[in-house]
Amino acid sequence: MNKELKILGIVAAFTLVLYWGVEPFAHSQMHKHVEGHGLVYDGTADIEEASKDKKEVKKKFWADVKKIAALKGDAKAGEATYAMCAGCHMEGATNMGGVTPPSLEHAGAIYDKNFLIALIKNPAMATNVDHKYKDTATHPMGGVMSMVSSDQDIANVVAYLKEKKAGEVTPREAYKEACGRCHANRYAKLTQLGEIPKTKSNIKTGQDIEKMKYDQKVAEEQAALADYLGKLPPDLSIIYRARSEHFLDTFIENPQSQLPGTAMPRTGLNHEGMEKVMAFLEETGDPSAPARAALGPWVLLFFVIFTILAYLWKQSHWRDLH
């Protein structure tokens, strides 16, 4: 018995050295550690990452956002101004400039107030992809800067979104609005165009014409998206299992922090929005997690009983040989 314990101790010691010494060092060399900002959108990260010629521009931009955030918005007045937004931001919107405008039905619930202000003031700066544009007005949403230009109008629209577009949102809805226009999720039966429709094959030909038509529309949407972003964004079916929670939190909060130069825009999710999106990614990426967690205690109990029986068998078998 003493020999077995010594062997177990040596194996455990080497395992701990590898796990707590070598692996963290190797990981730190291959992947830099990125600190998040707690889903606070005040420009701190943007200013830190900006080149010298852009630091002052970004400081002024986020200072203006802070000033607008201090204004008291009028939701009723904002509703009239929002009518200009509703023409693009709706269910079933068409692709505009390479990307389909997202629905804003739950914008007030899942997006941060400062981010929404920044997004209306200058979409490219707010989403931290201004490096893609010589003139940020050429951003697909750049026209909003001329339509909603005064500080009070911006405050009014955001007040309207926070008051009237902030109902209860499900994880699936949060994902579709924040991520679904760029990222497919085949496990959830979602493409960049939304829910995959149920279709039937023709009895005589065996061909599903409606599915073919839908697949063509998806292919065209993906081609436009790839042209706009430089490549097609990945399917997020198992991203929750492929990446750590810390990576996803910091990447979603500010993609530039993990992948400098990426065309992926900041989404501006607040804490509720992030929780809903992560819950959906966990559900689709690891649907068996609840069943696995419930089975865990029984597996541990089995190993405990098996260990006891194995030890008793060993004692009985070797009793006369020691």
Give pLDDT, residue 27: 63
- Chain center to CA of 233: 12
Give pLDDT, residue 28: 65
Is residue 275 within 8 A of residue 224, CB to CB? The reply is: no
* C-alpha–C-alpha distance, residues 93 and 140, integer Å: 14
Give pLDDT, residue 195: 94
Please give the C-alpha separations between residue 117 and each of 129, 252, 280, in angstroms, as whole numbers.
16, 19, 27
> pLDDT tens track of the chain, all 322 residues?
578 788 888 898 888 887 777 767 766 666 677 889 999 999 999 999 998 889 999 999 999 999 999 999 999 999 999 998 988 888 878 888 788 898 999 999 999 999 999 999 999 999 999 999 989 988 889 889 988 989 999 999 999 999 999 989 999 999 999 999 999 999 999 999 999 999 888 777 778 889 999 999 999 999 999 999 999 999 999 999 999 888 999 999 999 999 999 999 999 999 999 999 999 999 999 888 888 889 999 999 999 999 999 989 988 888 776 5
* C-alpha–C-alpha distance, residues 107 and 99, integer Å: 18
285-293 contacts, C-beta under 8 A, 24 or more apart: 285/187, 285/236, 285/237, 285/238, 285/239, 285/240, 285/241, 285/242, 286/238, 286/240, 286/241, 287/187
227-232 contacts, C-beta under 8 A, 24 or more apart: 227/98, 228/97, 228/98, 228/99, 228/140, 228/263, 229/98, 229/99, 229/182, 229/263, 229/264, 230/263
- Chain center to CA of 95: 21
Is residue 166 within 8 A of residue 276, CB to CB? The reply is: no
Is residue 130 within 8 A of residue 124, CB to CB? The reply is: yes
* C-alpha–C-alpha distance, residues 99 and 265, integer Å: 12
Cα-flanking dihedrals φ and ψ of residue 51, to 5°?
-70, 165
* C-alpha–C-alpha distance, residues 38 and 146, integer Å: 31
Give pLDDT, residue 29: 64
* C-alpha–C-alpha distance, residues 98 and 116, integer Å: 21
pLDDT digits (tens, 9 = 90+) for 88-135: 888 878 888 788 898 999 999 999 999 999 999 999 999 999 999 989
